[in-house]
Amino acid sequence: MNVLVWVQALTLGAAMAVLGWALAAGPLRIFSRTSRDVLGYNALVALAALSWWPWLVLELLPPVYRLMLGLVGFLAAVQWLCAGVHKLHDTKPAYVISPLMLPLLSLVMVGSAWLDASGHSLMLASFSAGLWMLGVSLQQVFPSLMAQTGARTARWVLAPFALAGLCWLVGMARAAWMLGVGEPVVPAAATAAGTAHVGLLDGWQVVVWWLSWALLNAGAVGLLFLKLIDKIRELSTEDEVTGALNMRSFLALLQDEGERLRRTPQEQSLLLCEVDQYAALNQQLGFATGDAALRHATAVIGRSLRKTDRLGRTPQGELVLLLPATPAVGATLVAERTQAAIKANPLLVNGQSVGLTLSMGVSSRVSAGIDGETWLDLCRQGVERARREGGARVRVARLDPVQDVTIQGTEGVTQPPAEAGVPLGAPGTGPASPV
Q: Give the pLDDT of residue 428.
A: 38
Q: How confident is the model at residue 400 (pLDDT cuts 50, 70, 90)?
A: low
> Quick count: other Cβ atoms within 10 Å of Cβ 158?
20
Going by pLDDT thresholds of 50, 70 and 90, the confidence category of residue 25 is confident
Q: How far is CA 63 from CA 168, 193, 395, in A?
A: 22, 17, 83
Position 119 scores a pLDDT of 86
Average pLDDT on 338-364 reads 93
Tens digits of residue pLDDT in 324-335 = 999 989 999 999
**Is 60 exceeded by the pLDDT of residue 420?**
no
In angstroms, the Cα distances linking 157 to 29, 234, 388 are 22, 20, 55
pLDDT > 90 in the chain, percent: 54
- 53-79 pLDDT per residue, tens: 888 787 788 888 989 999 999 999 999
CB atoms within 10 A of CB 43: 18
Which is more confident, 60 or 399? Answer: 60
Give which of 70, 82, 95 is closest to 38, Cα–Cα. Answer: 82
- Report d(CA 371, CA 196) in Å as an integer: 75
Q: What is the pLDDT, as a whole number, of residue 48?
A: 93
Mean pLDDT of 254-280: 90
**pLDDT, greater one: 213 or 88:** 213
Instruction: Quickly state the pLDDT bin for 342 (edges 50, 70, 90).
Output: very high
| Residue 433's pLDDT band (cuts 50, 70, 90) | very low
Give the lowest-confidence range in 144-153, 314-323, 338-347, 411-420.
411-420
Per-residue pLDDT band at 283 (split at 50, 70, 90): very high
Give residue-wise pLDDT tens across range 214-247. 999 999 999 999 888 888 877 788 888 998 999 9
pLDDT category at 135 given cuts 50, 70, 90 is: very high
3-state secondary structure of 80: helix
CB 133 within 8 A of CB 82: yes
Contact between residue 268 and residue 326 where contact means Cβ atoms under 8 Å apart: yes
CB 24 within 8 A of CB 30: yes
* Span 261-273, average pLDDT: 89
Question: SS3 for 347?
Answer: strand
**245-259, pLDDT tens digit by residue?**
999 899 999 999 888
Q: Give the residue, 419 or 367, on which the prediction is more confident.
A: 367
Read off the pLDDT of each residue in 293-320 and give the average, rounded to a whole number. 93
In which band, very low, low, confident or very high, does the pLDDT at 116 lie, cut at 50, 70 and 90?
Answer: confident
- Kindly list the distances between the CA atom of residue 114 and the CA atoms of 107, 108, 111, 406, in Å, as whole numbers in the listed order: 11, 10, 5, 84
pLDDT > 90? residue 125: yes
Burial of 295 (0-12, 13-18, 19+ CB in 10 A): middle
Among 226-235, 338-347, 413-422, name the most confident range.
338-347
- Quote the pTM value: 0.67
Task: Determine contact, residues 324/259, Cβ cutoff 8 Å.
Answer: no
The hierarchical CATH code for the domain 247-406 is 3.30.70.270
